[in-house]
Amino acid sequence: MTQNTRTQKLAAGAVPAPGEADGVAGVDSALEQLWHVLTSMKLALVLMLAFAALTLVGTLVIQAPAGVMEDPQAKSQWLAGIRPRYGGWTDILDRLQVFTIFTSFWLRAIGALLAASLVACTVHRIPGTWRTVARPRIDVGPAFFEHAPQHEAMTFHRPSDDVLETTRRVFRRHGYRTLSLDDGTIHLYFDRNRWAPWSGLVAHAAIVVILAGAMVGSLWGFRDGNFMLAEGSTSAIPKVAGATITLNSFKDTYSPTNGQPLDYVSNVTVAQNGAPIATQDVRVNEPLRYQGVSFYQSFFGPAAVVTVKDAKGAIVYAGGVPLAWEATGGNKVGTFALPTQGLTAWVVATTGTDDPAIKPGQVAIELYRADTGDPVVQKSIDQGVATTIEGLTYTFEREAKFTGLSVANDPGTPIVWLGCILLVVGFAVRMYVPHRRIWGRLAARPDGGSSLAIAAVGRRDSGFDAEFTTLVTDIRQAVTAAARS
């Protein structure tokens, strides 16, 4: 039997149709198949759960700080630090990019597939939604009026024209529009909130918008999380020509009872081509924004104000050096460049009294060759005393503070917010403004009266039952009232 059928098929298909032979149809069907897979809800579901599982790994397994994995030395140091915790798994997990899961191949691949599935599903649903909204099926057949979750049959002594008119009016009062089709029997379709089905598509498209915004940000935005400025120092604002930012003062206050931080404030002045534009306090939660660039309060620490002069007394360097790093032993370390000398200077300040080389009130100046990194000389200098090292005079003027700002410019942010608004609006409408559809069937009766059946497939939970009952009651009352008048 099976053999037989197969032979018949073979016979019928022995001569391939012209279109199938040239391979075009093959590509078409492969694309179709891909489309079919991408638009499948099952794939979307699996991808969503996979994405959730991967990001969950990111919260449970320690993640390497940004930049560490690109620097082989920092990487091996960091891996050594976590080795006690993950043991033999450390290298395997590293190979699998588990420590950088949010930039890993896995997350990107699943994210890309998810985005593709999202776009495909959204596009795929447009024609159906359009049909539901613009060309609904009006004639649904008589069986529907007996089996739908909500249904009611009514008979009236009035002619069908009257009943139709009255029914239309009742539905209009409840916010429904009426479509009808007359083929001897009058088929009716009533709906309310007919634009609501679009909201689901809006919500899904909104996620694409958010992803697009994130993409714009990562392509054209910039971010410097380590923008340091000592009190009294001025620095150029990145990406804005001729603009500078000066830290006038920095203040940190703490709770007297438990030492918890209460406030960090950087008082800064922004200037354009030397002319001050604005002076503002920058706090956590109170960023400074100028020409699309934002400054956020991020961290802070001590600074050493240092002046360097050459033999003729001309200033080579003057300013606050942020002591932002910590050396082994707890010393605070900062750096500045002396480009004319080809030197890099490090400033080391002591936090305790343990260091025999640096006493409290002193800083150590360490000079290195800028090109090779070879050490040149190291010397501790007293505050306020000009000390000559290698032909230059170094003065440690005073202690100060520095502020660590995070500077960012993200042109994608407005797009992300637009997506967020669309998402919330889309969800709200999708879930709280239901598309109500009711079908009707109106027929004349031999006795001059008419019979009207209405039915709907509303969800039991959403208060639709009550609305349906009210509609039925209103139709009956209105027809009776019309009969009396």
Q: To the nearest whole angstrom, how small is the minimum distance from the Cβ of residue 401 to another protein?
A: 16
Q: What is the arrangement of strands in the sheet containing 234-236, beginning at the earlier edge strand?
A: 234-236, 243-254, 261-272, 275-282
The two tokens of residue 297 are: 């309060």
Residue 31 binding another protein, by CB under 8 A: no
The nearer residue to another protein, 27 or 60, going by C-beta atoms, is 60
Which contacts (CB < 8 Å, 24+ apart) does range 330-335 have?
331/355, 331/358, 332/301, 332/302, 334/303, 334/304
| Neighbour tally for 301: CB within 10 Å | 19
In whole angstroms, give the CA distance from residue 89 to residue 341: 49
Q: Which listed residue (297, 380, 403, 450) binds another protein by CB under 8 A? A: 297
- Number of helices (H), then strands (E), belonging to the chain: the values are 12, 20
Contacts of 403 (CB under 8 A, 6+ apart): 228, 229, 247, 250, 264, 266, 282, 297, 299, 300
Q: To the nearest whole angstrom, how small is the minimum distance from the Cβ of residue 255 to another protein?
A: 6
Residue 111 binding another protein, by CB under 8 A: no
Site for another protein in 374-433 (CB under 8 A): 406-408, 410, 413, 416-417, 420, 423-424, 427-428, 431
Q: Which listed residue (1, 15, 17, 41) binds another protein by CB under 8 A? A: 41
Q: To the nearest whole angstrom, how small is the minimum distance from the Cβ of residue 297 to another protein?
A: 8
By CB under 8 A, how many residues form the interface with another protein?
48
Q: What SS3 state is found at 406?
A: strand
The two tokens of residue 146 are: 């007996």
Q: Which listed residue (284, 337, 357, 377) binds another protein by CB under 8 A? A: 284
The nearer residue to another protein, 125 or 379, going by C-beta atoms, is 125
Residue 122 binding another protein, by CB under 8 A: no
Q: Which listed residue (283, 309, 398, 476) binds another protein by CB under 8 A? A: 283
Nearest 10 degrees: Cα torsion 46, 47, 49, 54? 140
Q: To the nearest whole angstrom, how small is the minimum distance from the Cβ of residue 198 to another protein?
A: 17
- Measured in degrees and rounded to the nearest 5, phi and psi for residue 415 equal -65, -40
Do 188 and 440 form a contact (C-beta atoms < 8 A)?
yes
Q: To the nearest whole angstrom, how small is the minimum distance from the Cβ of residue 284 to another protein?
A: 4
Element (H, E) at 106: helix 105-134
Q: What SS3 state is found at 194?
A: coil
Using CB under 8 A, which of the segments 50-58, 167-175, 183-191, 468-476 binds another protein?
50-58
Residue 266 binding another protein, by CB under 8 A: no
Q: To the nearest whole angstrom, how small is the minimum distance from the Cβ of residue 442 to another protein?
A: 33
Q: To the nearest whole angstrom, how small is the minimum distance from the Cβ of residue 248 to another protein?
A: 19
Site string for another protein, 68-107 (x = CB under 8 A): ----------------------------------x-----
The nearer residue to another protein, 100 or 350, going by C-beta atoms, is 100
The sign one gets for the Cα dihedral 168, 172, 174, 180 is positive
Do 305 and 257 form a contact (C-beta atoms < 8 A)?
no
Q: Which listed residue (149, 261, 292, 361) binds another protein by CB under 8 A? A: 261
The C-alpha angle 7, 11, 14, rounded to 5 degrees, equals 130
In whole angstroms, give the CA distance from residue 178 to residue 198: 20
Residue 331 binding another protein, by CB under 8 A: no
Do 451 and 445 form a contact (C-beta atoms < 8 A)?
yes
C-alpha dist (Å) from residue 354 to 36, 154, 323, 362, 410: 72, 98, 18, 13, 46
- Measured in degrees and rounded to the nearest 5, phi and psi for residue 156 equal -130, 155
The nearer residue to another protein, 25 or 208, going by C-beta atoms, is 208
Q: Which listed residue (122, 160, 266, 298) binds another protein by CB under 8 A? A: 298
The nearer residue to another protein, 201 or 316, going by C-beta atoms, is 201
Do 211 and 113 form a contact (C-beta atoms < 8 A)?
no
Using CB under 8 A, which of the segments 17-25, 31-39, 52-60, 168-176 binds another protein?
52-60
Using CB under 8 A, which of the segments 44-52, 180-188, 301-309, 387-395 binds another protein?
44-52
Residue 309 binding another protein, by CB under 8 A: no
The nearer residue to another protein, 45 or 357, going by C-beta atoms, is 45
Using CB under 8 A, which of the segments 75-83, 155-163, 293-301, 325-333 binds another protein?
293-301
Site for another protein in 187-246 (CB under 8 A): 214, 223
Residues that bind another protein (CB under 8 A): 41-42, 44-45, 48-49, 51-52, 55-56, 58-60, 63, 102, 214, 223, 255, 257-258, 260-264, 283-285, 287, 294, 296-298, 406-408, 410, 413, 416-417, 420, 423-424, 427-428, 431, 460-461
